[in-house]
Structure 1
Amino acid sequence: MAVISRMSVAKSPRQSSYSTNPSLLLAEESFSELLLAKEQDDSGYPDNNSSVKKGSSLVAFVNILCLAIGVGSLQLAYTLRQSGWFGAVFVVLAACIAYLTSIITAKCMYLKPGGGRISGFHEIGYEAFGNIGYYTITVFNILNIMGTVGIYAILSSNNISGMLAQVGVHVRPRLLMLATTAFMCAPTLFTKTLSETLLVSIVGTATSIIVTLVVIVMACVYPIRNGGIRVGSATMDTGLANHYGAIPGGFAVSLSSVSFAYIGTTIVPHIEGSMRRPESFAKVFGAAIAVIASLYVAMSMTGYWAYGSRTLSPITLNFPKSKQQH
């Protein structure tokens, strides 16, 4: 018994070294914390140690606005031309669909068998349908990204070319397309986390909101009345603009066009995974979708009120180019 007592009191060499050198104990505790954080990260739970590298809810909100707003917004008034005033309901309906699908997608990110967080849409396809789902989702995701960048490149290059031509500067649209594409892709090369994209997102969001306000103001200042648009003391003949409550034959095309305006919500996995508090994603995304839907409804209804059956896509084609053209 005395031997057992002495053995229980005696310290092992490892314990003795810790008592004489507290830094070793602190080092092992730090290493244990790192292992625990790694296990939490692999199991799908938030990693508190790396949270400083992630963005806040406000940063996520601005990023969602920047990426989701603006895509297809200039054609929204044209969708009301196809479906009548009832098309405004489709704008709200598409927003609700985008919100629900995004929340479901965010929940799917944590349903990986065995624990862990799914990295993106392609892995969701793999977990659901195997290799076929993986490659199918990957192809559609790549086409979506390339198509979105392509649309912006075409629109921006054509608009810039037209503006430069008015001041006597002629640049080939293809060169402008390459320049705008490089300019749009540059932030993805120099930013790695959600918080680093804040400045770019603020500029993008401000630009989209300014464009929305400009369209609304221009539509209110230069509407079609009595078959023409009054510009100063002159009138541009356009023909009568009719308005309809509902055009059932155009509902399908209108809904598909409106849904395209919310295509930016496909960045859900990346935004949710980059948030410091991913549990707040539903509230943040809901607030962002509400703002986007409000701007879309205002833009579409104002455009259709101003130009009715004469509405073009994009709506900027309805605006008078200059006061000299009359």
Structure 2
Amino acid sequence: MEKSEIYEARSVHSDKESIVDLMAERPEQGSNFLAYANVVCVVAGTGTLGLPYALALGGWIGVGILVLSLVMSVYTAILLLKCVYYNGKYRLSSYQEVGRHAYGKPGLIAVWFFHTSIVLGAPIMYLILAGTEMVTLVPNSGISTKAWIWIAAAVVSVPFVTMKTLKEVAVMSVFGALATVVLVVVAVRGSIMDLGSDMPGMVHNVVIAANLPTTVASISICFGGNVVYFHVEEAMRYPKSWNRVVAAALGTCAILYLATAIPGYLAYGSLAKSPILESLPQDIFTKVGTVVIIIHVILAAPILLTSFALEFERLTDITVARRGKVMERVWRTIARLVIVAFCGAIACLVPYFDAFLSLLGAMGNCSLIFVMPIIFYFKLIGWRHMKWYELVWCAIIVLIGVISAVIGSIDAIKVLNQRFHSDANGL
């Protein structure tokens, strides 16, 4: 063996040892179960409610797309976290840092744009859902949808402002995950009750080819946890368990999704609405589901907002070391209240849950979940060590991500434009 080869072998061995050191046990951090619950709460979320509608858009092939999305999402989540430790010297702290290390400033800007669209877009979507569902829950209250959105924003701001890090907010994720399970039970029960109702105009399609990109975009948001993976893994006591934790969490979410999507599409077919609560029998159980989803919004939104706030505070130097203990608290409170107010304002301007869900999935999630983890991994770690079938698999994921992002975004923007025109014309 030549000297250069010996040096390279030693260097690789040294890097592996360094990575092992970086991923050593962190006694002060949370358990694997807490990380699992955190991912389930953020990922399962309100995307569950849009799945029967996603099948209505694309047909039964949507079930296959959902399973494929699960496999792709687990794979890219593992690749993405490998990028965090790529140099063996220190741990990258965010998705933005991975982008910067991979492609410099262009990579940083690209990640920042799509990352921001998710960590702010998802809470905006949550507020839209909370506002519209509160009107359904108490129809004679005299309070408008916009007013309910602001009320929901005010409630969300309490844990968001008072709890500084994801470690503190993580406890809420356990309750959020339980809320999602209850919601799925309500949706399945209502769908089963309406099975065989034979509604006029209802059909069940195998595949609607023209809507496949939008279907992929709508389903992709159901696996949109990449924006918080860095902080969740950072808060894990045993970071070496990440692969198992993320696979178990996303697998659990997929089971919940299939349990909601299949009965929902069987019962309502092409007439399925988003959120599915609007299609269910309007009885006490559906009202319980409405209450549960509102609770889920209150619990899940602060997790995503905290992920954004931590990056924003790091960039603007809102730290105890820089500002002092008292002023850090003051500036952090002001910044977080402004963030919540921004989300509330956008939610009032774009109160269309289904179209916003599709746009968010297409523009942000398809890029962050399917495309960027692979191109960053190739740049930082390389592709020459991968088998040919792994390279083919990566190419398929990137192709699906790009097509769905472009066409899905265009379709969602068209729907939003139609909604705005219809409302403006009083239709």
Deviation for aligned residue 1:255: 1.3
Residue-by-residue CA offset, 1:74-103 (whole Å, 9 max, x unaligned): 111112112221210011111111111111
Partner of 1:188: 160
Partner of 1:284: 245
Partner of 1:92: 67
State how 1:134-173 maps to structure 2 within 5 Å.
134-165=108-139, 168-173=140-145
Deviation for aligned residue 1:309: 1.9
Partner of 1:303: 264
Deviation for aligned residue 1:177: 1.3
Contact 1:57 1:277 in 2 (8 A): yes
Partner of 1:83: 58
Partner of 1:45: 22
Amino acid at match of 2:44: I
State how 1:150-299 maps to structure 2 within 5 Å.
150-165=124-139, 168-192=140-164, 194-223=166-195, 225-227=197-199, 239-299=200-260
Describe the SS at the equivalent of 2:141: coil
Change (3 A) 1:53 1:314: same
Describe the SS at the equivalent of 1:312: coil
Q: What percent of counterpart residues are identical?
A: 26
Deviation for aligned residue 1:246: 2.6
Deviation for aligned residue 1:198: 4.3
Describe the SS at the equivalent of 2:131: helix
Pairing 1:74–2:49 present: yes
Change (3 A) 1:195 1:266: closer
Moved runs in structure 1, 4+ residues, more than 4 A?
Answer: 40-44, 192-195
Counterpart Cα distance in 2 of 1:131 and 1:74: 37
Deviation for aligned residue 1:260: 1.5
Amino acid at match of 1:154: I
Structure with the larger helix share: 2
Change (3 A) 1:197 1:41: farther
Deviation for aligned residue 1:277: 0.6
| Bigger mean CA offset, 187-196 vs 313-322 | 187-196
Deviation for aligned residue 1:185: 4.1
Amino acid at match of 1:287: A
Q: How many residues align?
A: 268
Contact 1:122 1:134 in 2 (8 A): yes
For the aligned residue pairs, the C-alpha RMSD in angstroms reads: 2.4
Deviation for aligned residue 1:249: 2.8
Change (3 A) 1:148 1:87: same
Contact 1:194 1:275 in 2 (8 A): no
Counterpart Cα distance in 2 of 1:192 and 1:275: 17
Q: In structure 1, list runs of 5 or more residues that go unmatched.
A: 1-39, 228-238
Describe the SS at the equivalent of 1:171: coil
Match of 1:57 among 22, 25, 32: 32
Describe the SS at the equivalent of 2:188: helix
Q: In structure 2, list runs of 5 or more residues that go unmatched.
A: 1-16, 285-427
| Bigger mean CA offset, 274-283 vs 65-74 | 65-74
Counterpart Cα distance in 2 of 1:243 and 1:135: 42
Residue-by-residue CA offset, 1:142-193 (whole Å, 9 max, x unaligned): 221111110000110111122112xx32213223212212333433333345
Amino acid at match of 1:78: Y
Change (3 A) 1:142 1:215: same
Change (3 A) 1:132 1:122: same
Contact 1:119 1:269 in 2 (8 A): yes
| Bigger mean CA offset, 98-107 vs 194-203 | 194-203
**Max radius of gyration: which structure?**
1
